[in-house]
Structure 1
């Protein structure tokens, strides 16, 4: 019997980003694609009973759930300094850099550890992250460079960037994610759309106003789009002070930009499916799962020329050059307006995006992870 132990702490994370979705989706697919006589177990730091129930509900088929006595912050600190290991021996897969990285004998004991690096922002643009987050990521990559048997990157762009900041040799393997399987329009879509007060036509974005997301530039671009469609943003609430300041700074009329707050998967599916344009202006990105979600629903997409997003899109959306940040809002506006003004372009982009989304699947990702462990 062969056991693969997956570190699923990120699945319970409430921090912005898509690593939580990636962890859940990949683990579920690993269970579904497990070869004969192979089983998937999970490890999680000390959590609440409702969280344990959520794990068991969303990851049916887990052979076991190992519950640490340490809280998440304590586990992070312990593994950063090389303390504590997982019980037993065998294969460990970490959907992030959170892993028990230490010296082990892969050849004689069959122990192996694979980690995942979703982006290199902590190195390329450390000013976009809190200092403690930068310090932790850098420390964990140093440990991965010494002790990881392989490192998974979600895109060739991230793999190339990793090659410039760490001596990982041939240990880097590109294994992409896929669209969120829970973003499916529900049967009561009309009721939800009415409750959310969705207009007939609107531009949609996902993300906060923190540096690097490009949402502030997107808000400024609205003053240059004269067709009247509002911008709806998932993440900030309607009364978010940072969003209000960005709206005032852009000189926009009330109602032209609206924060929707955090949404359930069903509500998000409704909001995404009915959007006229999905804008993903992120200045830095490792993969771009929200963009892939929009592609999967056939929504025309406008995105920045961040290398990972250009790679993911492969011509499925309209690319906007970041370049001079002062002119970025104008370029975003031009791209968005081209879709709003051209129905045929919008339809063509919807089809090309759908085709692009079909190139990715969690099953394929899981099979590649199993093969990587087998290759080791």
Structure 2
């Protein structure tokens, strides 16, 4: 494909986690398969990113002002009828031709999970973006159905383009000796109320595994409602904060189990990361997790502390079950790749440009 399009590069100014990783990996994969695009970014790109694709810094501001004012003005002046792709956030509503990615509608499910500004911004702007967008990308069939029912969007307008796992995190391990795994349970996510860490910690205290530790990887983000996790930091509950991709891969590979108790997701990429790194997955029984993990996880009710504890203990104590989860996880993880997702996205781009 030779037609030029542009990507909203505001994600390059934010930590390489979650939806920002989706944006970065999609751009890398699109470059690899030969797409012709330029990422337009504010000046303050983080050192986290080493970009193999073309990046053009524009404007003088950042954040919402850059996205809603400087970005569309630049395109109107220089590339008036161009296509703009937004992989994160809501993008610029003033540009005429754009494709938007809406990962989930968690802000509509429970406003209390988010800061008031974030909730009001997304609640009011998302319907406008959804209406104006040429196409909408989302990351699971569950999220597609949520967009249809909650925002009254036509199914024909929505395309599912799955997440995958970064090559820096993915590690396919054969002949793994499970007896050599570390005595710790791992969970990974932003410190967000909907990730349900309080319930997980309560469940951890109930299990009869006193020689185990709980490692919590993730950082706090100002868009989420504040919770005082620090008071829960005990000798056997360790908040590791943000870690590098290499450190994260190592943590997955050496954990006895990975637990993800989230109450609501669009996809749940940490489950897939754990599966790719030969770590048994124990996760909440919400629809996107079942869609993505299938038979490669043991599921629990995320609002039932006793069920969370029971399922964690069951998997820790059953070596053959852990091995089966690892095998199923490796098989299922092969269904997802950034190249596959980029190829599907390129088909969508071609349809809109042509």
Q: TM-score, normalised by structure 1?
A: 0.82
Alignment partners' CA distance in 1, 2:43 and 2:132: 25
Q: Which residue of 2 aligns with 1:352?
A: 328
Q: Which residue of 1 aligns with 2:7?
A: 6
State whether structure 2 residue 268 is matched by structure 1 residue 292: no
Q: Deviations over 1:245-265 (max 9, x none)?
A: 346xxxxxx522112222111
2:195 aligns to what SS in structure 1?
A: coil
Alignment partners' CA distance in 1, 2:333 and 2:309: 25
Q: Is the 8 A contact 1:5 1:41 kept in 2?
A: yes
1:370 aligns to what SS in structure 2?
A: helix
Alignment partners' CA distance in 1, 2:281 and 2:56: 39
State whether structure 2 residue 309 is matched by structure 1 residue 307: no
RMSD (CA atoms): 2.6
Alignment of 1:108-187 (within 5 A): 112-169=97-154, 170-184=156-170
2:169 aligns to what SS in structure 1?
A: coil
Alignment partners' CA distance in 2, 1:283 and 1:295: 20
Q: Which residue of 1 aligns with 2:307?
A: 331
State whether structure 2 residue 190 is matched by structure 1 residue 214: no
1:287 aligns to what SS in structure 2?
A: coil
The Cα shift of 1:155 comes to: 0.5
State whether structure 2 residue 188 is matched by structure 1 residue 202: no
The Cα shift of 1:166 comes to: 1.7
Q: Which residue of 2 aligns with 1:190?
A: none
Q: Which residue of 1 aligns with 2:64?
A: 73
State whether structure 2 residue 26 is matched by structure 1 residue 43: no
Q: Deviations over 1:134-164 (max 9, x none)?
A: 1222233222233110000100111111111
Q: Is the 8 A contact 2:171 2:277 kept in 1?
A: no
Q: Is the 8 A contact 1:295 1:301 kept in 2?
A: yes
The Cα shift of 1:167 comes to: 3.1
The Cα shift of 1:200 comes to: 2.7
Q: Deviations over 1:180-203 (max 9, x none)?
A: 2221569xxxxxxxxxxx983210
Q: Deviations over 1:302-345 (max 9, x none)?
A: 111222111111121011123xx3xx221111111111111000
State whether structure 2 residue 345 is matched by structure 1 residue 369: yes
The Cα shift of 1:365 comes to: 0.6
2:73 aligns to what SS in structure 1?
A: coil
Alignment partners' CA distance in 1, 2:24 and 2:348: 19
Alignment of 1:88-99 (within 5 A): 88=79, 89-99=81-91
Q: Is the 8 A contact 1:284 1:306 kept in 2?
A: yes
Q: Is the 8 A contact 1:13 1:20 kept in 2?
A: yes
1:2 aligns to what SS in structure 2?
A: coil
Q: Is the 8 A contact 1:202 1:230 kept in 2?
A: yes
Q: Which residue of 1 aligns with 2:73?
A: 84
**Count of matched residue pairs:** 334
Q: Is the 8 A contact 1:46 1:72 kept in 2?
A: no
Alignment partners' CA distance in 2, 1:54 and 1:23: 13
Query: Which of 243, 250, 255 is the aligned partner of 1:263?
Result: 243
The Cα shift of 1:103 comes to: 6.7
